[in-house]
């Protein structure tokens, strides 16, 4: 099966430096094949048996801590799950510029009591939609200016998350052979 691992907080602002070549090598050392990385923010597409994929996020986290000395988390999706994400974005409509779309991928599906506590500060036409393990964001004023973009969704939902812009999501889908 083909999987996509999205690492949180890698190579951001000169911190948590992780060369993508090293990331690829780590993936291969844990039994992954056909490994491809995408840009420098910790995105990797690979093939693996289900047994390998099950323990992969924890194994990768431990290896990065050992080899590079920082903590990160890998949020994973199968290629089929990523394709479903691209098909279910509520903000992907005619006339909407996809450069304003982002997805926060959560490690776990949130529990309803945590969901009802969500209260990000939306400005203007900004919007968000939680669907399963994804939070879809529409940020028409840009992510850099948005308070909603920096809202601690994952902490409020008692899980870990990492955000990717829509172009990255679509490019990862293409790399996974699911476009």
The parent domain of residue 126 ranges over: 88-175
Q: Which residues contact 14 (CB under 8 A, 6 or more apart)?
A: none
How high is the pLDDT of residue 116?
A: 87
* CATH label of the domain that carries residue 9: 3.30.70.1280
Q: Which of 79, 96, 127 is the last residue of a domain?
A: 79
Angle at CA of residue 143, ends 93 and 167, nearest 5°:
50
Say if residue 92 is in the same domain as residue 132.
Answer: yes
Write down the pTM of the prediction: 0.93
How high is the pLDDT of residue 85?
A: 97
Taking each helix axis from N to C end, the angle separating 20-29 and 50-68, rounded to the nearest 10 degrees, works out to: 130
Say if residue 93 is in the same domain as residue 169.
Answer: yes
How high is the pLDDT of residue 4?
A: 97
pLDDT in tens for each of the 179 residues of the chain?
A: 999 999 998 887 778 899 999 999 999 999 999 999 999 889 999 999 999 999 999 999 999 999 999 999 999 999 999 999 999 999 999 999 999 999 999 999 999 888 988 888 888 899 999 999 999 999 998 888 888 888 889 889 999 999 999 999 999 999 999 65
In angstroms, the CA 125 to CA 143 distance is: 13
Residue whose entry in the numeric block shows the structure tokens 């004023």: 141
In angstroms, the CA 19 to CA 7 distance is: 12
Say if residue 105 is in the same domain as residue 154.
Answer: yes
In angstroms, the CA 17 to CA 14 distance is: 7
Residue whose entry in the numeric block shows the structure tokens 């050992």: 66
Say if residue 71 is in the same domain as residue 98.
Answer: no
How high is the pLDDT of residue 179?
A: 53
Q: Which of 79, 114, 141 is the last residue of a domain?
A: 79
Q: Which of 40, 62, 79 is the last residue of a domain?
A: 79
How high is the pLDDT of residue 121?
A: 81
Under 8 Å between Cβ of 101 and 165: yes
**Residue 71: Cβ within 10 Å count:** 12
How high is the pLDDT of residue 29?
A: 94
Say if residue 40 is in the same domain as residue 59.
Answer: yes
Say if residue 118 is in the same domain as residue 135.
Answer: yes
Say if residue 74 is in the same domain as residue 99.
Answer: no
Say if residue 41 is in the same domain as residue 108.
Answer: no
Say if residue 11 is in the same domain as residue 58.
Answer: yes
**Residue 175: Cβ within 10 Å count:** 21
Question: Phi-psi category of 124—alpha, beta or left, where left has phi over 0 and alpha has psi -120 to 50?
Answer: left
Say if residue 94 is in the same domain as residue 39.
Answer: no
Number of domains the chain contains: 2
Say if residue 134 is in the same domain as residue 73.
Answer: no
Say if residue 48 is in the same domain as residue 122.
Answer: no
């Amino acid at each position: 099966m083909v999987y996509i691992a999205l690492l949180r907080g890698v190579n951001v602002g000169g911190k948590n430096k992780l060369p993508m070549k090293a990331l690829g090598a780590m993936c291969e050392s844990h039994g992954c094949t056909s490994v491809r990385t995408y840009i420098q923010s910790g995105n990797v597409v690979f093939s693996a048996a289900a047994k390998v994929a099950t323990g992969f996020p924890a194994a990768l986290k431990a290896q990065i801590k050992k080899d590079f000395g920082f903590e990160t988390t890998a949020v994973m999706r199968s290629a089929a799950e990523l394709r479903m994400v691209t098909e279910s974005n509520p903000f992907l409509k005619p006339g909407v510029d996809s450069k304003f779309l982002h997805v926060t991928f959560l490690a776990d599906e949130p529990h309803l009591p945590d969901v009802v506590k969500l209260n990000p500060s939306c400005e203007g036409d900004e919007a968000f939609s939680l669907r399963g393990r994804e939070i879809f964001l529409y940020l028409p004023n840009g992510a850099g200016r948005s308070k909603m973009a920096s809202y601690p969704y994952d902490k409020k939902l008692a899980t870990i998350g990492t955000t990717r812009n829509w172009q990255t999501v679509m490019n990862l889908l293409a790399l996974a052979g699911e476009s």
